Structure 1
């Protein structure tokens, strides 16, 4: 089992921040795995900073994904990932387009995401929209 967090950041125009991952070139939400003795809140904040240079000040969790399927590690071992999705309610700083973990970062209108933005990114944004319209916390 692995545990992590992903964060949704929006600019004043409502566009969503995506990072282009250096490991596979796909566009995704800032996310990653929790470190020992770290809270999920702090994991989300740390991952955003490491991948974008932005400092998140406050988050609201809106979904917890645990799934029924297994993923295979680079070493061929099966594992299940549990991810907390958070909305960044306030943040500051200058966006870094490249970091050790990313090859690009940019804000996109929700309806105009890059083609390589995967299922998890799209599902998370749909769940956030439902949460903000009054649907309770997503637990799956």
Structure 2
């Protein structure tokens, strides 16, 4: 189990900063199974389907953040990742469902090696499953906008081999 929100770096910083816009440094991970399906998790905080993702903690590398978030949200153990995109522009400034304002710097990783059995429900997720991209519309709730955006960046990266900067 991870830190509580209040004990996390962002939770502590938010308590000090009040309503100022903060920088949110985080990671999201794309995991494909042997059939090419993509892991999506149904987040417990907003009920939306997304990639395993979350904020980096002090003393942690961004790759370790990605690995930790996958484990916390799916129970899978990641052993190899490749950075393929960074989403950080002004279009990533917004207010979350709690009324807190952030500019998000989200590092997108492709998971190249993983093991374990998928935990469908965790402290942070209501469900988790591998889904074919053409089946996203059949999910019972919304898929976050980051999912198609991230998959498009991954396809672009895999065609050209250059990290995508947005």
Is the alpha carbon distance of 1:130 and 1:75 closer, same or farther for their aligned partners in structure 2, counting shifts above 3 Å? closer
- Decide which of 90, 103, 112 is 2:126's aligned counterpart: 103
Question: Any stretches of 5+ residues in structure 2 without a counterpart?
Answer: 1-22
Bigger radius of gyration, 1 or 2?
Answer: 2
Instruction: Give the CA RMSD over aligned residues.
Output: 1.3
TM-score relative to the length of structure 2: 0.80
CA distance in 2, matches of 1:89, 1:54: 13
1:1-140 equivalent positions in 2, closer than 5 A? 1-69=23-91, 70-73=93-96, 76-113=99-136, 114=139, 116-134=142-160, 136-140=162-166
SS at match of 1:132: helix
- Higher relative contact order structure (alpha carbons within 8 Å, sequence separation ≥ 6): 1
Structure 1 ranges of 4+ moved more than 6 A: none
The count of corresponding residues between Structure 1 and Structure 2 is 140
1:73 CA displacement: 4.3
